[in-house]
Amino acid sequence: MREVAVIGVGMTKFGEVWNKSLRDLFTEAGMKALINANVSGSKINAMYVGSMSAGRFVGQEHIAPLVVDYAGLAETHIPATRIESACASGGIAFREACMTVASGMYDLVVAGGVEKMTDISGGEATETLATAADQEWEGFFGMTFPGLYALIATRHMHKYGTTPDQLAEVAVKNHANGCLNPNAHFRRKITAEQVLEATRVADPLGLLDCSPISDGAAAAVICPLKDAHKFVEKPIRVLASGQGTDTLALHERADICTMEATRYAAKAAFAQAGIKPKDVDLAEVHDCFTIAEITAIEDLGFVEKGKGGKATEDGMTRLDGEIPINTSGGLKAKGHPVGATGIGQVVELVEQLRGEAGKRQVSGAKRALAHNIGGSGASCVVHILEVPE
Amino acid sequence: MSVPRFWREIPQRYNLIGKKCTQCGQIYFPPRDVCPKCRRESIGKMEDYKLKGTAKIFTYTIIHIAPTEFVKQQPYIMAIVELDEGPRLTAQLVDIEPENVKIGIRVKAVFRKIKEDGSKGVIYYGYKFKPIS
Ligand SMILES: [Zn+2]
């Protein structure tokens, strides 16, 4: 297997981008990534595109060739493949792209992700997201997507004494980070009181415990590490990639406070990298709901199981903490255009590792981790990136 | 949801019919065709199994923002309950005030209307759970 590097990244602003279509979004992100990588589109060998539900969000399936077409590359006839793994579609598209380069099959691949979620009503968007859960045995009975994470939160509070204030702290921190990210959906600070007093969605979660419905796209250009310096001064090595699965329905799991898909993906990634969680300088984790960041930092091994709430309260995960989590603002504040989210995380990692993250820069960052979840934890993909020696 | 798709699920949803793997004795609900413990050894050995419907609350939430078909019912309580035979399932809790719901409370299955599909005029029935008083 060849070593792989990211040589360019690009993303649109995440948010309610009413004046841009699905096509506008992925074309903008892709062109930014190619320009950032100093690569001509005509040299690309293949593309992977993450999208959860373009069919339900904008009525358009079969978007992989469309991405190639609107990048102006129809004449190249390169292979393009769409990846669907709910909210982990982007992260898994990135993994597929890395694997084809690592295998030696292709030398220059684009991994992208896109979702245009605000062309339909909030209610329709929520119902589309719910299709990531078990429709026959969860959705049919009236379960919602926030409801599933609320079930986890209730149990986590019961089992480990996690508090609503600790959950609120996740949202407060991520909004503070989002203020420093020009591409974030929300760039305003919020207080713990606002989180606790916000409209209830599914107790114990309120509106400010939930990530928003966003439009957006992101892209990354990948090549063998040995060739990377031909294109850019600061390539970033993809040190490891791990992916895991679990039962689709939450109720099938022995312990709903632990996401075994995350543990499996993280174990594979850390083994491949030959490092431990303490060797990671920062991480982007899948905080679709505040409780999800708590379980993620536990399952990734940054803190002991059950201590995620306390660690957050103590400031361990803040920008100036021991392990800064979601420096971009996370899904909560940066936004969550589901298919784009996993690639958006890679964009943040690359900017941090290049030292280009501006006011949210983690000084001296050498290694960073991205954690992307699909559904209520039935899919997970973890990547570790580092500054090459 | 299409009518044939719903009819296919009726025995399970009306009567809490799960599956028992006669190879290892494990009981499953919702029903599945392959036992995860025995896998190919379980083929042809998964028998229908009627669950008693008695359970305890494993975790719960109060849904304030519901899907379209459930908006008329909101707020309502959703829970994962653990059946006495072992399997867990997701269902609505009824005949109990939200402030009285606690993990560990004993509940039993009741047959109720789940939702109406306005556009097709179909009414869906299935199980909900209520406290054993
Ligand atoms: Zn068996």
The strand pair at A109-115 and A216-224 is best described as antiparallel
Q: Is the per-residue pLDDT at A19 higher than 90?
A: yes
Beta-carbon separation of B76 and A142 below 8 A: yes
Task: Judge whether B119 lies within some domain.
Answer: yes
Q: Which residues pair with B131 in a beta bridge?
A: B107
For residue A247, give the amino acid letter: T
Q: What is the pLDDT of residues A224-245, one digit of tens each?
A: 999 999 999 999 999 999 999 9
Neighbours of A124 (CB within 10 A): 14
- The full set of domain ranges for chain A reads 4-121+214-236, 129-210+239-386
* The two structure tokens encoding residue A275: 């490092």
Beta-carbon separation of B59 and A136 below 8 A: no
Look at residue A236 in the predicted model and tell me its pLDDT: 98
Answer with the residue of higher pLDDT: B11 or A87: A87
Is residue A54 within 8 Å of A44, Cβ to Cβ? no
Look at residue A267 in the predicted model and tell me its pLDDT: 98
Look at residue A386 in the predicted model and tell me its pLDDT: 98
* HSE-up of residue A68 (Cα within 13 Å, Cβ side): 21
Look at residue B13 in the predicted model and tell me its pLDDT: 83
Which residue stretches of chain B have pLDDT < 50?
A: none
Chain A residue numbers with beta carbons less than 8 Å from the beta carbon of B92 are 141-142
DSSP letter, residue A174: H
To the nearest 5 percent, what fractions of chain A are helix, strand and coil?
A: 45, 20, 40
Task: Judge whether B5 lies within some domain.
Answer: no
Look at residue B122 in the predicted model and tell me its pLDDT: 82
**What is the SS3 assignment for B26?**
coil
Q: Can you give the CATH number for the domain in which B63 is found?
A: 2.40.50.840
Q: Between vectors from CA A63 to CA A51 and to CA A108, what angle results, nearest 5°?
A: 85
Chain A residue numbers with beta carbons less than 8 Å from the beta carbon of B2 are none
Neighbours of A59 (CB within 10 A): 10
Task: Judge whether B32 lies within some domain.
Answer: no
Look at residue B99 in the predicted model and tell me its pLDDT: 96
Chain B closest-CA separation from residue A289 CA (Å): 14
Chain B residue numbers with beta carbons less than 8 Å from the beta carbon of A252 are 88
Look at residue B10 in the predicted model and tell me its pLDDT: 75
pTM for the complete prediction?
0.97
Q: What is the pLDDT of residues B78-104, one digit of tens each?
A: 999 999 999 999 999 999 999 999 999
Q: What is the pLDDT of residues A307-341, one digit of tens each?
A: 999 999 999 999 999 999 999 999 999 999 999 99
Of A144, A205, A256, the CB nearest to B67: A144
Beta-carbon separation of B67 and A142 below 8 A: yes
Residue at token pair 């898909």: A261
Query: CATH topology of A4-121+214-236 equal to that of A129-210+239-386?
Result: yes
Q: Torsions phi, psi of A159, nearest 5?
A: -85, -40
Q: What is the pLDDT of residues A102-147, one digit of tens each?
A: 999 999 999 999 999 999 998 899 999 999 999 999 999 999 999 9
Note down the domain range covering B79.
53-131
Look at residue B118 in the predicted model and tell me its pLDDT: 66
Q: In what order do the strands lie in the sheet with B17-21?
A: B27-28, B17-21, B46-50
What is the greatest pairwise CA distance in chain A? 59
For residue A381, give the amino acid letter: V
Q: How far apart, in whole angstroms, are the C-alpha atoms of residue A165 and residue A172?
A: 10
Is the domain A129-210+239-386 a CATH 3.40.47.10 member?
yes
* A4-121+214-236: CATH architecture: 3-Layer(aba) Sandwich (3.40)
- Over residues A237-261, the mean pLDDT reads 98
Look at residue B116 in the predicted model and tell me its pLDDT: 83
- Over residues A277-301, the mean pLDDT reads 98
Gap between the terminal Cα atoms of chain A: 19
Domain count, chain B: 1
In chain A, the percentage of residues whose pLDDT exceeds 90 is 99
- Expressed in angstroms and rounded, the spacing between residue B40 Cα and the centre of ligand 1 is 9
* The two structure tokens encoding residue A276: 């431990």
Contacts of the segment B44-48: beta carbons below 8 A, 24+ positions apart: B45/B21, B46/B19, B46/B20, B46/B21, B46/B22, B47/B19, B47/B20, B47/B22, B48/B11, B48/B17, B48/B18, B48/B19, B48/B20
Look at residue B55 in the predicted model and tell me its pLDDT: 98
Q: How far apart, in whole angstroms, are the C-alpha atoms of residue B81 and residue B88?
A: 5
- Expressed in angstroms and rounded, the spacing between residue A250 Cα and the centre of ligand 1 is 21
Look at residue A377 in the predicted model and tell me its pLDDT: 98
Look at residue B2 in the predicted model and tell me its pLDDT: 65
Mean pLDDT of chain A: 97
* The two structure tokens encoding residue B6: 């719903």
Q: Is residue A149 within a helix (H) or strand (E), and if so which, with residue range? A: helix A145-160
Q: Is the per-residue pLDDT at A298 higher than 70?
A: yes
Neighbours of A186 (CB within 10 A): 22
Gap between the terminal Cα atoms of chain B: 35
